[in-house]
């Protein structure tokens, strides 16, 4: 029965990591109200402005980041590989440019804190007063 601990503990830990909460963040001065559909519109290139009419600049985490996979799945309803294919098609046909990619939660947070038009997402545990949360998924 001791072997069961060695199997069960990693499984429990890996499932906890796989279900991390993702926070969508904007500059603290941004007054736009955003729902999942609006966020999806911005991150799929179907829109370039917040509901208030001001410019929106979406920022992605780098491919392979756990929060990116969670965001793609929970907010956009697609896997990361489906989103990569989606953007490849738009780029190839000249109909879109994917959001800029940043390496880490700290990079996204710093970029959003410095730019009132920016919108990004980070692991909810990384949120601090430098950004405003507009959604948790």
What pTM did the predictor assign? 0.85
Distance CA 43, CA 46 (A): 8
Distance CA 22, CA 68 (A): 9
With 50 as the cut, is the pLDDT of residue 124 above it?
yes
Q: Look at the chain and report how many structural domains it folds into.
A: 1
Q: Is residue 94 part of a domain?
A: yes
Q: Is residue 30 part of a domain?
A: yes
With 70 as the cut, is the pLDDT of residue 6 above it?
no
Task: Give the domain range for residue 43.
Answer: 21-136
**Domain CATH code at residue 80:** 3.40.190.10
Q: Is residue 127 part of a domain?
A: yes
**What would the pLDDT profile of 62-105 be if each residue is shown by its tens digit?**
999 999 999 999 999 999 999 999 999 999 999 999 999 999 99
User: What's the pLDDT at 52?
Assistant: 85
With 70 as the cut, is the pLDDT of residue 25 above it?
yes
Q: Is residue 1 part of a domain?
A: no
Q: Is residue 3 part of a domain?
A: no
**For residue 95, what is the DSSP state?**
S
Q: Minimum mean pLDDT among 30-39, 105-114, 116-125: which range?
A: 30-39
With 60 as the cut, is the pLDDT of residue 2 above it?
no
User: What's the pLDDT at 16?
Assistant: 44
Q: Is residue 52 part of a domain?
A: yes
User: What's the pLDDT at 14?
Assistant: 44
User: What's the pLDDT at 19?
Assistant: 63
**For residue 54, what is the DSSP state?**
-
CA 56 to chain centre: 14
Say which residues have a Cβ less than 8 Å from residue 82's Cβ, sequence separation at least 6. Answer: 72
**What are the E-state strand segments in 21-106?**
22-26, 57-61, 100-102
Q: Is residue 10 part of a domain?
A: no
Q: Is residue 51 part of a domain?
A: yes
């Amino acid at each position: 029965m001791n072997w069961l601990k060695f199997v069960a503990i990693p499984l429990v830990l890996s499932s906890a990591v796989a279900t991390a909460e993702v926070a969508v963040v904007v500059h603290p001065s941004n007054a736009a109200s955003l729902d999942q559909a609006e966020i999806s519109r911005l991150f799929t290139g179907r829109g370039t402005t917040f509901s208030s009419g001001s410019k929106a600049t979406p920022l992605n985490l780098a491919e392979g980041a756990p929060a990116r996979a969670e965001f793609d799945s929970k907010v956009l309803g697609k896997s990361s590989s489906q989103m990569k294919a989606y953007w490849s098609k738009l780029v190839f046909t000249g109909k879109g440019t994917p959001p800029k990619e940043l390496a880490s939660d700290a990079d996204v947070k710093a970029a959003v804190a410095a730019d009132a038009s920016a919108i990004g997402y980070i692991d909810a545990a990384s949120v601090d007063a430098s950004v405003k949360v507009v959604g948790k998924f």
